[in-house]
């Protein structure tokens, strides 16, 4: 993960929430680790609400520093990290201001990275302004989600950006792909002979992928009420995780080999007949409830949300993959806000033994399962049955636990840190290619259209629960249930 070449990392939206909580802390951690960032590499923050560099450094000290280093800040490393930071004040609505950025970057060696931590409405204007001053050459552009509102708007953004930057210059970021357990999922499948023979319809009964949040919409009510959980989480994060779980072994780990296999999965998703959407997709909206002993308000009363909003804050959907490996295996995706716990995990439920001389407990579904937890603690657990001590042959569930912090003494790399280093080093494997994105939008679009035209409100659920009962009923029809364990 070392970077030997020089770079200039230009951060648009330099005073935004994403820059404060994720991007700048990730760059600091890479700097603090030593050897990951070239000594000559610079960070150029772009914003319009700060007067100059001194004011921006004050902002970084006040707002960014609290979000770095769980074990405390290394003051020497922090001081040298601040030395990397420069600042250019630009009004993004005024293309002429980009000459200031061009002049600030003039003569700098190495690659330029432009990170657009802004709203998607600014993606195309920023790219065109960069091209107008010749800054699209020898550069890489990083686009945050959401990239569009639907397939048509996504294509419009991609078409416009694609006229300015070549596909190999465009890094569409999905931070879940940078998480350590997702990387370990690839290692688990393709580095061990143990699991790959079982990773197919003959041995897998069902797969669940959950991204659950305790938080509500916070201060993003205006944004979220025009987006919803299907666009915000399913179209990107959950379908990307599904493609990693279900993909065929690539011939190598180079960027196109990995992304080609993910694309094959996305194109093999069984199209949903609009008449069946009520059977395979559940949408919900949280009402007032209690989370960890504190009362929380209903979604409709959150700031920025329309009182009569029908925007979904919860989605559960059944997905099928029409290929030889996965035909007949249901994939259940679930995400929501104000749920009972904060957890992201992948659950692979293996089939029960065909016959048991040890009693009915060995025949129940889910006795053998693999749980890959992405957050809050990153672990991989393999569950199986073992004999309980004492008389008789009484079976109990036990698990083998791969807790990364026990096996590896060095600290784990955060997702954004890994992905930013990949951008700087030109590694595209963990970024979403345009055809992947189009395939994902194409699959979710019938659901979006049906929900937009149906005269049915989302199903209510109390904050602090696991969502509408209909989501559990959907799994019950397949003889299974959601895995809902304590952290």
Q: For residue 399, how many other CB atoms are within 10 A of its CB?
A: 15
With the CA atoms of 63, 66, 67 and 68 taken in that order, what torsion angle do they form, in degrees rounded to the nearest 10? Answer: 120
Burial class (CB in 10 A: 0-12, 13-18, 19+), 431: buried
The set of catalytic residues is: 237
Q: For strand 343-350 and strand 331-336, is the pairing parallel, antiparallel, or unpaired?
A: unpaired
CB 308 within 8 A of CB 457: no
> Buried b vs exposed e over 417-430: b needs ≥16 C-beta within 10 Å?
bbbbbbbbeebbbb
How close are the terminal C-alpha atoms of the chain, in Å? 31
Gap between the Cα atoms of 449 and 364, Å rounded: 39
CB 114 within 8 A of CB 142: yes
Sheet containing 42-47, strands listed edge to edge, beginning at the edge strand earlier in sequence: 85-89, 42-47, 7-12, 111-116, 139-143, 170-172
Per DSSP, the residues of 114-169 read EEE-S-GGGHHHHHHHHHHTTTTTTEEEEEPSP--SSHHHHHHHHHHHHTTS-GGG
Question: What are the DSSP E strand ranges found in 421-465?
Answer: 459-462
Gap between the Cα atoms of 197 and 195, Å rounded: 6
Token pair for 382:
């393999």
Token pair for 201:
């319809």
CB 350 within 8 A of CB 203: yes
Chain centroid to Cα 376, Å, comes to: 14
């Amino acid at each position: 993960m070392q970077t030997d070449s020089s770079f200039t990392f230009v951060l648009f939206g330099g005073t935004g929430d994403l820059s404060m909580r994720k991007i700048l802390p990730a760059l600091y951690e890479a700097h603090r680790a030593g050897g990951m960032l070239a000594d000559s590499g610079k960070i150029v923050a772009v914003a319009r609400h700060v007067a100059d560099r001194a004011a921006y450094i004050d902002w970084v000290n006040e707002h960014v520093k609290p979000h770095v280093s769980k074990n405390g800040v290394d003051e020497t490393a922090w001081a040298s990290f601040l030395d990397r930071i420069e600042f250019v004040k630009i009004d993004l609505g005024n293309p002429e201001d980009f000459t200031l950025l061009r002049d600030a970057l003039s003569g700098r060696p190495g690659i330029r990275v432009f990170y657009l931590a802004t709203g998607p409405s600014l993606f195309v204007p920023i790219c065109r302004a960069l091209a107008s001053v010749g800054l699209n050459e020898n550069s890489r552009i990083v686009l945050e989600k959401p990239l569009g509102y639907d397939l048509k708007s996504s294509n419009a953004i991609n078409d416009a950006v694609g006229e300015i930057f070549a596909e190999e210059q465009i890094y569409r970021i999905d931070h879940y792909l940078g998480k350590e357990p997702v990387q370990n999922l690839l290692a688990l499948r393709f580095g061990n002979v143990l699991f790959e023979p079982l990773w197919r319809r003959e041995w897998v009964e069902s797969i669940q992928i959950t991204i659950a949040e305790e938080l509500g919409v916070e201060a993003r009510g205006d944004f979220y009420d025009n987006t919803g959980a299907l666009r915000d989480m399913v179209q990107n994060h959950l379908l990307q995780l599904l493609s990693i779980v279900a993909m065929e072994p690539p011939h190598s780990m180079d960027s196109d080999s990995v992304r080609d296999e993910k694309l094959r999965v996305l194109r093999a998703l069984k199209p949903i007949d609009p008449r069946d959407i009520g059977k395979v997709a559940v949408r919900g909206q949280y009402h007032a409830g209690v989370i960890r002993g504190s009362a929380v308000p209903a979604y409709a009363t959150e700031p920025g949300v329309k009182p009569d909003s029908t925007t979904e804050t919860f989605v559960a959907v059944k997905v099928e993959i029409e290929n030889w490996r996965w035909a007949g295996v249901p994939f259940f995706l679930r995400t929501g806000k104000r749920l009972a716990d904060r957890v992201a995990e992948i659950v692979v439920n293996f089939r029960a033994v065909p016959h048991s001389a040890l009693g009915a407990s060995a025949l129940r579904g889910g006795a053998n399962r693999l749980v890959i937890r992405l957050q809050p603690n990153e672990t991989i657990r393999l569950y199986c049955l073992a004999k309980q001590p004492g008389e008789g042959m009484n079976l109990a569930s036990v698990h083998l636990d791969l807790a990364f912090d026990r096996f590896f003494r060095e600290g784990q790399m955060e997702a954004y840190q890994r992905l930013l280093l990949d951008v700087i080093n030109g590694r595209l494997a963990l970024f979403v290619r345009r055809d992947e994105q189009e395939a994902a939008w194409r699959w979710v679009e019938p659901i979006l259209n049906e929900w937009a035209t149906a005269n049915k409100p989302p199903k209510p659920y109390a904050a602090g629960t696991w969502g509408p009962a209909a989501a559990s009923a959907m799994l019950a029809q397949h003889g299974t249930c959601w895995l809902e364990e304590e952290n």
